[in-house]
Chains A and B, each alone.
Chain A
Amino acid sequence: MTPAPVPANDAERLRVLRELLILDTPPEERFDRIVGFAAEEFDMPIALLSLVDEQRQWFKARVGLDACETSREISFCGHAILQSELFEVLDAALDPRFADNPLVTGAPFIRFYIGAPLALPGGATIGTLCLIDTKPRHFDMLDRAILGTLRDLVVAELMGHGAQGDAE
């Protein structure tokens, strides 16, 4: 297993994340509805809004997973935050970086992962909107574009530019 790498700008990234005052806060409907929509849109058993803290990834919104956090070292999202584009693992069981990862060999038995990095306007990537399946999958160009658009909605909400007052 390749532990999630730590980016060179991690201290600044963590400062930005903590200034949002969002870690360990209760669930919020504005994030739950985006994550729930993503799970339904792509028929994914697990969808997460994951924020990568210093030692853990913590889930602000989650579908299909009971845990509210996991260690950063074994997190897929810890890899995804180093990317500028979507980070996709087609079959974790066949990927040397993840094949013996406890999240692959044990619950939730990840096989497919795709994460859209949450890059804020200042440049800090604080987490991901990610989707997980227990079987290998593939996202085509349109799927990827839709996920990217949903990620942009999450970032807008994080920046306070979301759908406040919008009817659901």
Chain B
Amino acid sequence: MNAAKPGGRLLLVEPQFVLRRTVSTMAREMGLADVQEATNTAVAERLLFERRFHALLIALDDEGEALALLQRLRAGAVAHPPDVLIAATASACDVELALRLKELDVCRLLLKPFKVRGMLEVISALGAPDPLPAG
């Protein structure tokens, strides 16, 4: 599959190497997005400080660190514009989590077990943004 021009810059926060690398490589090759990878929320926060992203696809962890990052992001406490598009993956979702994600304006939730194909569909649905400023 030939590399295509990326549609936008997306931050993928996913601890599992094989899933993360496969999705990022495929998304780049399909021209869905220029995907930057983060293994955890600490790396993600650093990347959010350094660059601008049009979308964030983040794995929700059991410790709540991902939700805490999203909370700070939406509250303007992270050095990144708070209105970034956000999608999430999770192992399960109860009413409490669903309400929390709604409050955080998370536009898509992908529940396990999901496939690479499903994550690519989410990235595609996040769409290409308006042109990003340099940085």
Contact = CB atoms under 8 A, between A and B. Distances in A.
Contact of B26 (A33, A146, A166): A146
Interface in B33-90: 39-40
Contacts of B40: 167
B22 A167 contact: no
Candidate in B17, B29, B39, B116 with the most chain A CB atoms within 10 angstroms: B17
A159 interface: no
Contacts of A168: 15-17
B17 A150 contact: no
A150 B22 CA distance: 7
Contact of B25 (A33, A142, A152): A152
Interface string B92-135: 00000000000000000000010111001000000000000000
Contact of A153 (B1, B21, B116): B21
Given A146-B116, A167-B39, A33 B1 contact: no
A-side interface mostly: helix
Contacts of B115: 41
A34 interface: yes
B26 A145 contact: yes
B25 A166 contact: no
Contacts, number: 43
Contacts of B116: 41, 146
Contact of A150 (B1, B18, B117): B18
A167 B15 contact: yes
Given A40-B113, A153-B22, A148 B1 contact: yes
A141 B116 CA distance: 13
B17 A163 contact: yes
A146 B22 contact: yes
A163 B22 CA distance: 12
Nearest to A43: B115
Nearest to B22: A149
Given A152-B25, A166-B39, A167-B40, A146 B117 contact: yes
15 contacts: A37-B18, A145-B26, A146-B26, A146-B116, A146-B117, A148-B1, A149-B25, A150-B22, A153-B18, A153-B21, A153-B22, A163-B21, A166-B17, A168-B16, A168-B17
Interface of B: 1, 15-19, 21-22, 25-26, 29-30, 39-40, 113, 115-117, 120
